[in-house]
């Protein structure tokens, strides 16, 4: 596989801190770039789940499968927050809050 050798990522061999899978993984505390955005997986864990991953005396690596799941969880969280903001901006009448209980 020539393509794999051309990847710019420097991967470290070890166990994934999240699922314990052995392999070549990225680091939790290191800064990466994904689609033009900075990402640090340990920070995303804190924002998304309020989990401060302790990497002292244990693995500081995360596998690609867990990275995908973490990104998906974080984008779902961002969507829910955006939806909440959008609903708060809508007039209560449009939300239908006063539709019930009206007498004609
Ligand atoms: Zn994993």
d(C-alpha 60, C-alpha 27), whole Å: 6
- The rounded Å distance from CA 15 to ligand 1 centre is 8
Token reading at 62: 């995360």
Domain range annotation of the chain = 2-89
Cα 10 to middle of ligand 1, angstroms: 17
18 annotated to bind ligand = no
Question: What integer pLDDT is reported at residue 5 of this predicted model?
Answer: 44
Is 48 a known ligand-binding residue?
no
Task: Flag whether the pTM goes above 0.85.
Answer: no
Cα distance between the two ends of the chain: 73
β-bridge partners, 22? 15
- Cα of 57 vs centre of ligand 1, distance in Å, is 18
Percent of the chain that is helix, strand, coil (3-state, to 5): 40, 20, 40
pLDDT tens by residue, 4-42: 444 567 899 999 999 999 999 999 999 999 999 999 999
């Amino acid at each position: 596989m020539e393509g794999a050798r051309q990847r710019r990522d420097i991967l470290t061999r070890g166990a994934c801190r999240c699922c314990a899978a052995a392999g070549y993984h990225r680091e939790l505390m290191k800064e990466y770039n994904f689609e033009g955005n900075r990402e640090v997986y340990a920070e995303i864990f804190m924002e998304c789940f309020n989990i401060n991953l302790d990497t002292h005396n244990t693995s500081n690596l995360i596998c690609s499968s867990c990275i995908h799941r973490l990104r998906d969880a974080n984008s779902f969280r961002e969507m829910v927050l955006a939806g909440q903001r959008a609903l708060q901006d809508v007039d209560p009448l449009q939300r239908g809050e006063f539709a019930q209980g009206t007498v004609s």
